[in-house]
Structure 1
Amino acid sequence: MHPTLTRRQLIAATAGGLSFPGVLRAQTAVKVAYGYSAVTDYATVFVAAEQGLFAKNGIDIELRFIPINPTIVPAIQSGSLQMGGPTPTAYLQAVSGGMDHVVVGGGGVLSKRFTEVGLVTAAGNSLRTPADCVGRKIGVPGLGALLHITFRQWLKLNGVDQSKVVFVEAPFPQHADLLRGGTVDAVVTAGPFMSRILSSGEGRVAAYYTTFLPEGQPTVLHTATREWAQKNPAAVRGFRNAIGEAAAFMAKPANEAAVRAALGKHLKVPAPVAQAMQISPPGPVVTTAQLQWWGGLMREQGYLKTEPSYAGLIA
């Protein structure tokens, strides 16, 4: 018997659905393997893990780094992940293709003040304008992923035929080496990888192209299969609560050091890099209208096989 609880207390706790630290909570925590990629859009997830907010809300979280974002969706489908953070574009393509996945919450959101996403070229490369991209090889962290689709939209808005640009899929960690070796002319990159390229002097920013997009649109969605979400409603609520609490924690200036420590740990970057990087604004709540906005952008580019029923996509 637990040394601080009487038999009567244990019986009452069990009958009433209550929990005591170290007794019932440990027995009822839902194990969740969550997949993320290397950007600050997952800051609320990192903070919730490090501050014990998942545990507080009945979730035993395991964070797994996934180098190429679009592969998060099939990992959820296969059951190797219970939840993950695909970009809206990767998620909606999967739903359009027949996967029955739902949105539990949101990660980062777009901001015109966020300049850690951009088109970066080697320092001596002549590429400077959208028109200069024609005939060039551009590395993107995932074909059909958010940065790829938004970059194509930027080209379109500037009158460039995207079919005349060669896109090469490459994980973020490879971007510096690809530029250095001349394998690609430029990369669409973000976060600490962009900072490292620029601070080394080996690259320069050709365009902060995402600043043309409207603010507040989600850049990462926390998703699960509908079947898993329906079988684990308490875990869905607990996950939402945890990231909401993490967003509130991040809003307090006194917590900045803890937030950056969480980023450094899970993005596997040195403390000086974590201190210097911009943090994507959190948006834990996702709306149907936001999903429709991304769907419209993708439909223009021919990335949706069928139009999803957006109202049924949020758990």
Structure 2
Amino acid sequence: MTNDVARTRRGLGLAALVAAVLVLPGLAAAQEPVKIAFTPTAAAGGIFNAQAEGFFAKDGLANTELMSQQNGVGVVAAVQSGSAQIGSVAAGVFFGAIENGLDYVAIGCQSLFGPGTKVLAVIARKDIDIKTAKDFEGKRVAVPGINGGHHIMFLEWLRENGADSKKITFLEVAHAQQGDVLRGKTVDAVVTAEPNVARILKNDLGVVVSYMNDTKRNLPDAFFMTTRAWADAHPDGVKAFQAALKEGVAFADANPAETSENTAKFLKQDVAIVQAAGKQQFCTPDLTKHVGELNTIMLDLGLAKKPMDPKKVVWTP
């Protein structure tokens, strides 16, 4: 072997080593586990598709895991503790976390309640005479989370229809147990979302009083959030999540049958129940708009003294 050939080989080896070292940080970031916490409703169809159809991996998140939580408080706890890096948090819970000084940022919006939707319902027991909003006064109503998206949308519907929510007793009951509390007459009604609406109706446990889609305004049911520290440290990860979520939503619009199958898989539900559920109205990527929608309703309901600042809570790189 000549000295020139030896030097050439050593040079190529050194170049390969340098290239590997330069690539390793990006490769490590791509392989770093990203756990995404969610509450079990069909509204999370965007991330179900992103996981099942490989959009997360394609867009740069090679190691993602979806984690089901009982309610929005559980999602916040998972993100705060580091058990999850991203969470789908009920709108009111997100607002409360920001109001109490937690440094979270919105990186996506899940879906909408209100006009143009049929995915959220208040269901009354069959033996209770409830036909209007005011009929709920003096009754016991279960919601999956106090100040969660379901609860706030119901409060807005009551307000717009002249009922006094202060005369209603609210209980926090997870989706999976809502049919049981109707059957056992523990409550008079439940506020729930698909596919739980379809399941309760199939089991003949109640009647829909309203889908609460006759309100004047839409309410974002949940925001995908993370800590500001994680977002700032993983800007490419946030962008990958947003890209995959957008693809997951587009897939849902174009492929309802496959979306039902993906949703049934992650919710561990019969696909027929999911297929019977109403079509989701997913959020747009305009997070400033959706934060504004939440601000307006929270202020009008007296649940907040000042609005969230979109410039602070909407993450930007």
Superposition TM-score, scaled by structure 1 size: 0.88
> Equivalent residue for 1:250?
252
Counterpart in 1 of 2:267?
Answer: 267
CA 1:79–1:195: 2 relative to 1, 3 Å: same
Specify the code of the residue in structure 2 equivalent to 1:206.
Answer: V
Q: In the alignment, does 2:99 pair up with 1:96?
A: yes
Residue equivalent to 1:156: 159
Give the partner amino acid of 1:97.
N
How far 1:9 sits from its partner (Å)?
A: 10
Whether 2:283 is the aligned partner of 1:283: answer yes
Q: Within 2, Cα distance between the matches of 1:157 and 1:111?
A: 12
Structural mapping, 1:216-235, within 5 Å: 217-235=219-237
Residue 235 of structure 2 is aligned to residue 239 of structure 1: no
Residue identity matched to 1:194:
V
Residue in 1 aligned with 2:32?
A: 30
The 8 Å contact of residues 97 and 306 in structure 1, kept in 2 or not, is answered as no
- Kept in 1, the 8 Å contact 2:113–2:119? The answer is no
- What secondary structure sits across from 2:141 in the alignment? strand
Deviation, structure 1 residue 111: 5.4
Q: 5 Å matches for 1:1-315?
A: 14=20, 17=23, 25=27, 28-59=30-61, 60-110=63-113, 112-215=115-218, 217-252=219-254, 255-304=255-304, 306-315=306-315
Deviation at 1:187, TM superposition (A): 0.5
**Preserved CA contact (<8 Å) 1:87 1:220:** yes
Question: How much has 1:109 moved relative to structure 2?
Answer: 2.5
Deviation at 1:12, TM superposition (A): 8.5
Q: Deviations over 1:224-260 (max 9, x none)?
A: 00011001111101101111122222232xx333211
CA contact (8 A) 2:125 2:188 kept: yes
- State the structure with more CA Rg: 2
2:266 and 2:121 map into 1 onto residues whose CA distance is 22
Moved more, 52-61 or 162-171: 52-61
For 2:313 and 2:133, the matched residues in 1 are separated by 35
Task: Determine if contact 2:140/2:171 at 8 Å carries over to the other structure.
Answer: yes
The CA deviation string for residues 253-291 of structure 1, in whole angstroms up to 9 with x for no partner, is xx3332111100011101211222223122251332321
The question of whether the paired residues in 2 share the 8 Å contact of 1:97 and 1:305 is answered with no
Aligned-partner Cα distance in 1 for 2:101–2:120: 31
Unpaired runs of 5+ residues, structure 1, are: 1-5
Q: Which moved more, 1:298-307 or 1:228-237?
A: 298-307
Mapped to 2, the partners of 1:12 and 1:111 lie a distance apart of 56
Provide the C-alpha distance between the structure 2 equivalents of 1:204 and 1:297, rounded to a whole number of angstroms. 27
| CA RMSD after TM alignment | 2.4
Deviation of 1:32 after TM superposition, in Å, equals 1.1
Aligned-pair identity (%): 28
Whole-angstrom distance in 1 between the partners of 2:131 and 2:111: 28
- Partners of 2:220 and 2:293 within 8 A in 1: no
Q: Shift in Å at residue 54 of structure 1?
A: 0.9
One-letter identity of the residue aligned with 1:83: I
One-letter amino acid matched to 2:107: V
1:88 maps to amino acid: A
| Cα shift readout 1:166-207 (whole Å, capped 9, x = no counterpart) | 111111111111011110000111102111111122211111
For residue 105 of structure 1, report the CA deviation from its aligned partner: 1.2
Distance 2:17 2:55 in 1: 27
Higher mean displacement: 234-243 or 61-70: 61-70
Larger deviation: 126-135 or 6-15?
A: 6-15
| Residue number in structure 2 paired with 1:3 | none
Partners in 1 of 2:49 and 2:281 — Cα distance?
13
Cα distance in 1 for residues equivalent to 2:48 and 2:239: 18
